[in-house]
Amino acid sequence: MGSAPERLRPWWKDAIVYQVYPASFKDSNGDGIGDIPGLISELDYLETLGINTLWLSPMYKSPQVDMGYDISDFEDIHEPFGSLADMEKLIDGLHKRGIRLILDLVINHTSDQHHWFQESRSSKENPKRNWYIWRPPRYDASGQRQPPNNWRAAFGGSVWEWDEKTQEYYLHYFAPEQPDLNWDNEATRKAIYDSAIRFWLDKGVDGFRVDTVNKYSKPKEFIDAEITDPKNPWQYAYPLFCNGPRMHEFLKEMNRDAMAPYGEVMTVGELPCTPDSKEILRYVGAEERELNMVFHFDMIYLGMGTVHKYMPEPFDLRDVKAALGKWQRFIEGQDTWTTVFAENHDSARSVSRFASDAPEHREASSRLLALMLTTLTGTLFIYQGQEIGMANIPRHWPVDEYKDLETQNFWERMRKHTGGDPEGMEAAMDGIRLLARDHARTPLQWDGSKNAGFSAGRPWMRVHDDYPEVNIERQRDRSNSPLAFWTRMLRFRKQFAALFAHGIFREFDHENKAVFTYTKEVQNHSGGVYVHTDDAGGDDESRGEEVKKALVVLNFSAAEQHLVVPRELRDCRVRLVRLSVSTVAEHDGAAAPEVLAPYEGRVYFVL
């Protein structure tokens, strides 16, 4: 029986969420595309790993221009993924295992194949014309037709697409096949709530990851963006179209009318281009009743170009510390919550970005990242393959192996920009090799058989070359494999949730470019956690010493580093405790040396 504060905590604060990208998780029928039956077949694996919530990326009916984020029917399933009956079976199978399900809620836009848009574009007089954003053209000095403004779309080009039939432009922040919905129209909002939210809550879904959650409210005037890229007619405009004038009104209405009647529905928002913590509090403050939490992308954005996303810029461990620390401290003294993650379907692999994917360091790096993430405060999100240390696509793969629309559009833009100059194109390829979204989308590596056990047929996307060595089956029985370590650390996080999932974060030695050092401390009202002094690995917390603080040290370098205990802890007894001991197996439960091995992480309980 948990303490009173634990019993009163919303379930989503203690969620350990595993994200599944359906096309790449597991294929059940040999067509080369992952599907819902394939996911159902591996629910026992997910239960054993220790997750308690599953986030399923878009599985809705879709032309798949943007990998399912272009939805043509919110109430149906993309046929290669399965059927509504399969989804009902999945929900039931998860709930029987005590695992909740959240879906992607993609309601800023639809596919241009959605029947709403088909009606909207049919004529200016159609009742659904105002369900999307339509504007007349403007004309330049020579009388040439031009879009209403100079905004650049997320995937390149203008945010406006000309419709020949009705002689107007429609707005799309993403691909032209993804027209933006008009949230200012009440009828549109009501239809969204019915089709995209209530339909799935009625089927037993437990919550939503809310896609591009700050873009629904469009600005009153579509003014031109500042010219920051003089060689491009289309300019970066996110500050102009994020966090619009009615954004908070819409989210309050959505929560009140579509979600609150179903009880405690989890919502986590994708909130890009919102660095101001005061603005974020308006979304996630408990009294605001809008969202439970949002993803903070400061760490994910490190190294991305300011003008061209895939033209890398340098960063070091101090930037990682600052990015994580900002949102760890954000919730102190606030009735709000935060998230912990290092990768998702829109980012490259974390072991390649923030540690080392070199063969001699990759497993150590994977364990290091696991230890860091599982000891930080907030709801924890893990992306498929992260638990075995899947890495970025090999450098020798040609660009045509990359399937993502954003990658291909960037490549073509750079070809035009450089005139195909080999040096410029190699620089573009280097950016793709490091940052492309494709890295997270290669098929999950189940075993060393053909196609990594993902499919009996030819996979929709090439399987990573390293699958014979890096796969789930090979890591199941190795005691210190990344998979085994993740499993242990998830158990450990649950056991000491008050300290790690909910504790207060304090960083030390910020200027150290090699070692990340911080403490976690139980909040006063929560009481301590109990550990055995003789048998630290025991599961019975009814006896032993009370612990209210832990020290975490993480060596993010390929060289040994001296262990430095923060001055304020030097008078304390600091003891290494089994399970969190170290990412280096031979230190487990022993008196660890004063030197950290390359990419070693440790947790000490401060007694």
Token pair 């509504």 is found at 84
DSSP 195-206: IIIIHHHTTT--
- Answer yes or no: are the C-beta atoms of 383 and 16 closer than 8 Å: no
d(CA 552, CA 607): 14
d(CA 293, CA 266): 9
239: its two tokens: 């500050």
- Answer yes or no: are the C-beta atoms of 434 and 426 closer than 8 Å: no
The CA-atom distances, in angstroms, between 213 and each of 163, 168, 172, 178, 530 are 27, 27, 15, 15, 40
DSSP 71-114: -SEEEEE-GGG--HHHHHHHHHHHHHTT-EEEEEE--SB--TTS
**Long-range contacts, 416-425 (Cβ 8 Å, 24+):** 417/231
Residue 575, classed as helix, strand or coil, is strand
Cα 129 to chain centroid distance, Å, stands at 34
Q: Which residues contact 84 (CB under 8 A, 6 or more apart)?
A: 76, 77
Query: For residue 171, which of 183, 389, 559, 399 has the smallest C-alpha distance?
Result: 183
2: its two tokens: 């948990």
209: its two tokens: 């990851």
The CA-atom distances, in angstroms, between 171 and each of 248, 409, 465 are 21, 19, 40
- How large is the angle between the packed helices 247-254 and 277-284, nearest 10 degrees? 30
| Residue 339 φ then ψ, to 5° | -125, 160
Amino acid identity of 220? Answer: K
What's the longest Cα–Cα distance across the chain? 85
Is there a catalytic annotation at residue 270?
Answer: yes
* β partners of residue 221: none
Is there a catalytic annotation at residue 507?
Answer: no
d(CA 284, CA 186): 24
Cα 331 to chain centroid distance, Å, stands at 19
The CA-atom distances, in angstroms, between 528 and each of 6, 497, 499, 524, 538 are 12, 10, 8, 8, 17
280: its two tokens: 């974020």
Say which of 86, 112, 168, 270 is annotated catalytic.
270
Q: Which residues contact 555 (CB under 8 A, 6 or more apart)?
A: 368, 514, 515, 561, 596, 597, 598, 599, 600, 601
Say which of 168, 211, 387, 588 is annotated catalytic.
211
Which amino acids are annotated catalytic?
211, 270
